[in-house]
Chains A and B, each alone.
Chain A
Amino acid sequence: MPQPVAPIMETRRLTQKVAGPEGELVILHEIDLAVAPGEALAIVGPSGAGKSTLLGLLAGLDTPSEGEIHLLGERLDRLDEDGRARVRAGQVGFVFQSFQLIDGLTALENVLLPLELAGVTAAAARAASLLEQVGLTPRARHYPRQLSGGEQQRVALARAFAGEPRVLFADEPTGNLDSVTGQRVIELLFALRERHGSTLVLVTHDAQLAARCDRRVRIAAGQLSEELAR
C-alpha cells in the first residue's frame, strides 16, 4: 500500500461569492479539493461554471470569500497580496489562453522575466535552453507581435517552465489555437511537465486534453464532482 503523501495544494470548504445585479451570487460552494505532488488535474465544466475562478483562487491570484487554500505549504487565504506573490515567485508557472506575453520584451526576455523577478542569477542560459526545448531558438530575438499564435504559446510554455515550477496552472491553453497547433502545444506541455515533474492544474473545455490528465474534476452549479477515469 502506498504511503499517503501530503497534498501540494488543498482547499477546505472553499467558497466564492460575488455581488451580482440580483444579489449575491455563489460561484463556488464549500469545495474540498486536494492535489498530490506531481499529479495532473483537469478542471472541466460548462462556460461560466467557475473553472477559472477556482484556478485563480488556487494560484493565489484572488482571495476567497470563505474557506482555506493551502499551496506549497502556505495558507494563501491568510497572506496578503505580496505574501501570495512571494509564494508564487519561482515556484508557480502559468499558461494562459491569451498567451499574455509582454509586448515590449523579446521571446527570450519574456522567458527570462519570471527568473529575473525571482532574483535568479545566471538565468540567461537557462532561458535560452527552455526556448530550445520548445523549438524557438531562431525566434529568440523576436517580439510577440512578430510571432504566430502557436509560437507565442510555445514562448509562454517556455516561460512557464523557466523557473522549474513545482506547480503549473494552465487556463484553456489551446483555446486560441487551431486544433493542429493546439495539439502540438499540448504535446509540448505534457513533455515538459514530464521532464520537470511539475504538478499540473489545467482548466479546459477540451475532453481529449482533459483525458490526458491523471484526474478530472467537474464544476457545475458551484459544486465539484470527481469524474472517473475512462
Chain B
Amino acid sequence: MSRASGATPWSVVSGLALRGLWRELRGGSLGAMLLALCVAVAAVSAVAFFTDRVERGMQAQAGEFLAADRRLSSANAFDAALDEDARALGLRVARTLGFPSVIMAGEASSLVQIKAVGEGYPLRGRLASADAPGGAERDEAAGPAPGEVWGEARLFAVLGVQPGARLAVGHASLRLTRMLAAEPDAGGEFFQPAPTLMMNLADVPATGLVTPVSRVRHQLLLAGPDAALTRFAERTQARWPSGARSEGVEDARPEFRAALDRARQFLGLSAVVAVLLSGAALVLAARHYQSRQQDSAALMRALGASSSTILRLYVLRLVALGLAASVPGVLFGFLAQFGLAALMEGLLTVRLPAPGLGAVGMGLATAQVALLGFALPALVRLHRTPPLRVLRRDLPAPTPGSALLFAAALLAMGLLVLMQAREPTLALVLSLGLLGLLGVVYLAAWGALRLFGRLRFSGGARLGLAALTRHPHAGAAQLSALSLGLAVLLVLGVVRVDLLEAWRTQLPADAPNYFAINIQPDELPALQAFFAEEGIRPAGVYPMLRARLTAINERPVRGEDYADARAQRLALREFNLSWAAALPSDNRLLAGRWWTAGDSESGAFSIEEGIGERLGFGLGDRLRFDINGAPVEAVVRSVRSVQWDSMRPNFFVVAPPGFLDRHPAQYITSFHLPAGREETYRRLLERFPTLTLFDLDALLAQVRGVMDRATVAVQYVFLFTVLAGLTVLHAAFLSTRRERLREAALLRVLGARRRQVAGALLVEFLALGMLAAVLATLAASVLGMGLSVWVFELPWRFNAALPLWALAGGVGLTLLFVLGLMRQVVSAPPGRALR
C-alpha cells in the first residue's frame, strides 16, 4: 500500500464525481436538474439546428442566387448595346424582366410575379421543371420556349388548372406547359407571397404589360472572369440607367440575411426564456441537492478530504451532469427542429440541407452556462461544510449569500442572451428587459401568494393552501414560471388575433379592397366609364411616376449617409410621385400651405411627415428628383399627415398639377368591390388586361397565412417555455417531497383517509393553476393593451375568452402534473415515511 502525499489526485476526484453522478442519476436525486437542463438544451438546440440549416442553405445557394456572377438591375431598361460590350469582353450575358401582374385561366385569376427570361438564362445555378406538380424534376438548360409559360406548383392549385391550360397574360394567351420546380434566383425576399410565372422574354411585347412607365425590374445578368466583369463595369457604367444596382455573389441577399438574423435572434431569444425558467428550476433543485449532500461532504472532510477536493468533486460532477443532460437535450432538440422546419416549409425560399452538427456546440454551451450560473453557486459552499456535522447533524453547511446567487444568475442570463443575440448592446438591453419582466412577474406571484396566504379556509383545502404558501420563494418561482409560460402563449395565440381583428373592424365596411395600378393614360376614360357603368366609386384616380431623390438642398443623397436601414432603402429606391389639385380627404395639412397660383409654374412639393423625418428634409427644403434621367427640382411647401390604412392611394411626395405633366405617368386607383361581384372583377380584367389588380383581401389573407405560420413556429418554440415552467414545478415539488411524504404519513396516522390527503394535494395545485391563470391573463391583457394603444393605435377591448384559455391552460397543466405525483405521496405506507 503506498500513500501519495498532498492533495487527492484528479483521477480519484473525477472517479468519485462520475460514480456519484451515475448513482444519483439512477437514484433520481439529480433528476430535477437533469430534466430542467434537458428542456433548456432542447429549446436552444432546436432553434440552433433549424437556423443553422437555413444559414447553410443560404451559403450553399449564395453562388447561384443571382443566376449569374454579377447582376445589374434597374427600374429602367438597359441599353441594348451593353450586351455586345459584355460579349466583346468574353462575358456571357442574359436578360430578365420581373413585374407583378394578374393572370387569368378561364374564370380563375391570380396575382403572380412574372419573370420573363431571355436567351442564355440561367448563367449560373440550377433551373428545373416537372411535368406537373408532384412530378419528377428535370434540370433545364433554358427557360420556357416562346408561347409557353411555367408556373410554381401553388399556381396550379390557385387557378385549378392542369398542365396544358391556356393563361391570359395581359393581351397574350400563353400555354402553361410545365411546373417550375427550381429557379436559381428565386425571390430576393425571405418570404414571397405571389407565385412565380416564368415566361420567355420574347413574349413580353405581345402581352402589352410593359410600357415605359410600368413598374418593372430589368436585369442584366453577366458571367465570366472577375477581371472582365470589372472591366465591363469601368467601361460601361456611365451608360447604365440611373439608380441601377450592381450585385455580386459577395452581396448574398442582404435583405434575406437581415431577415434571417432577425428570425434567428427572435427564435433564439424565445428559447432563452425557456432556458431562464429552467434556470429557476436549476436553482431550486440545486439548493435541494446541496441540503442532501451536506452529510457526504462533512464525512469526506472528517475522513481528511481537503476543501479543494470537495470543491473539485462537485464542480466536476456538475460539468459531467451538463454533458449528460446535453445528450438527450440535443437529441430532443434535433427531433424538434424537424417540426420547426415543417412549420416553416413553403415560407422559406431556401432549400434546407440536412441538419448539421453546428448546433451541438450551442446546446453543450447552454447546459454548462446554465449549470455554472444557476446551480453551482448553491453548491459552491459545500466544501465549507463543518466536519463536525458528522457528530452534530444540526450543523448546516454555510449557505451562499444571496448576492452571490443573484450575481451568478445575472451573469449566466447575460451570457445566454448574448449567445443568441450576438450583439453586446442588444444583449444588454434584452437582459435588462428580461430581468425587469421576470422581476415584475416574480413580485406579482409573490404578492399573490401572500394575499392568498391571508385567506382562511377549512379542512383539506386549508392543508393544501398552506402547502402552497409555506415556502414563499419556491412558491413564487413556481407560480411565476407557470404564469410567464401561459402569458406568452396567450399573447401569441389570442391577443395577436384580437389585434388583427380590431384593425379590420375599424376599417369602414366600404373601404377600398382593390388597388389597380399600371393604368395607361389612354385607358383612363374607358376605365372611368366602366366604373360608372358598374356603379363602382373609385377612391380617387392619381397619376404616378417613378422618381429617385437625388439631392436635398443641393447635397447629393446617398444611402450610406443614413444609419437607419429603412432610411437607407428609401434613399436608394425609387418612389412614386403624384400630383393633385386638392388635398386628399384622408390627408391633413400639418405645416405650410397648399398650392397657390404660380406653384404649377415654379414647382412645389408637399411631403408626408414620416418620410421627411426619416430622410431629413422639411418645409422650405429644396428637393431634386430624377425622373427617367430628367432632373426635377422644387421647394417643399407643405407637410401632410397621411392615413395610410384608409386603403386609398397615397403618396410621400405630391406636386401641383401642371408641374410634372410633361413626364410620362401611369395611373393608380383603389375601389371597393363587395363580395359576390366576381363577375365585375372578371369583366374588368377582360376589358383591361394590362391592368394589375391587387386584391387586398386576398393579399391580407396571404399575409395572415404567412403570419399565422410564423406565429405557430414561434409558439412551437414557446412550448419549451411551458415545459420549462413544468420543470420548475417539478423541482419545487421534489424539494418538498420528503416533507410532504412525512406530513401525509402523519395525517394518515392521525386518521386521514387517502382521499383527504390526495384532496389537499389537488387543492394546492389547482390553486396554483388558477393563480397562474389570473396572473397570465393580467400580463397578456396589459401587453395587449399596450400594443393596441401605443404601438398600433387601435381601440382596445378586453377579450373574455382570455381568462378562459388561461384557466384551461393553467389548471390543465397543473392537473396533468399533480396526477402523476399523487400516487407517490398518497400510497407510501405511513410507517416507512415516518421512519
Residues of A within 8 A of B (CB): 52, 55-56, 59-62, 81-82, 85-92, 94, 96, 98, 100, 102-105, 109, 113-114, 116-123, 126, 164, 171
Contact = CB atoms under 8 A, between A and B. Distances in A.
Contact of A109 (B1, B19, B24, B295): B19
B299 A56 contact: no
B303 A89 contact: yes
A104 to B, nearest CB: 4
A102 B295 CA distance: 8
B295 A100 contact: yes
B300 A105 contact: no
B392 to A, nearest CB: 7
Interface in B295-313: 295-296, 299-309
In this complex, which of B3, B4, B24, B306 has the most chain A Cβ atoms within 10 angstroms of its Cβ?
Answer: B3
Dominant secondary structure of chain B at its interface with chain A: helix
Contact of A61 (B20, B309, B387, B393): B387
B105 to A, nearest CB: 73
Given A89-B304, A102-B299, A122-B1, 10 more contacts: A56-B391, A61-B390, A104-B20, A104-B296, A113-B300, A117-B12, A117-B305, A118-B3, A118-B4, A119-B3
The 3 closest A-B pairs by CB, nearest first: A89-B304, A119-B4, A104-B23
Given A100-B390, A104-B24, A105-B19, A120 B8 contact: no
A85 B2 contact: no
Interface string B382-412: 0000111011110000000000000000000
B8 A117 contact: yes
B16 interface: yes
B35 to A, nearest CB: 19
B5 A119 contact: yes
A120 B16 CA distance: 14
Interface in B1-52: 1-9, 12, 15-16, 19-20, 23-24, 27
Nearest to A57: B388
A82 B307 contact: yes
B306 A85 contact: yes
B387 A116 contact: no
A119 B307 CA distance: 15
A119 B305 contact: no
12 contacts: A61-B390, A85-B304, A85-B306, A88-B302, A88-B303, A90-B304, A113-B303, A117-B304, A118-B304, A120-B1, A121-B4, A122-B2
Contacts of A86: 304, 306
Nearest to A123: B1
A149 to B, nearest CB: 12
Given A56-B388, A56-B391, A61-B387, A119 B303 contact: no
A121 B23 contact: no
Nearest to B301: A85
B23 A105 contact: yes
A120 B307 contact: no
A119 B295 contact: no
A35 to B, nearest CB: 18
A90 B388 contact: no
Contacts of A62: 386, 388
Contacts of A118: 3-4, 8, 304
A102 B1 contact: no
Contacts of B393: 98
Contacts of B295: 100, 102
A86 B304 CA distance: 6
Contacts of B23: 104-105
B391 A96 contact: yes
B143 to A, nearest CB: 70
A121 B300 contact: no
A102 to B, nearest CB: 5
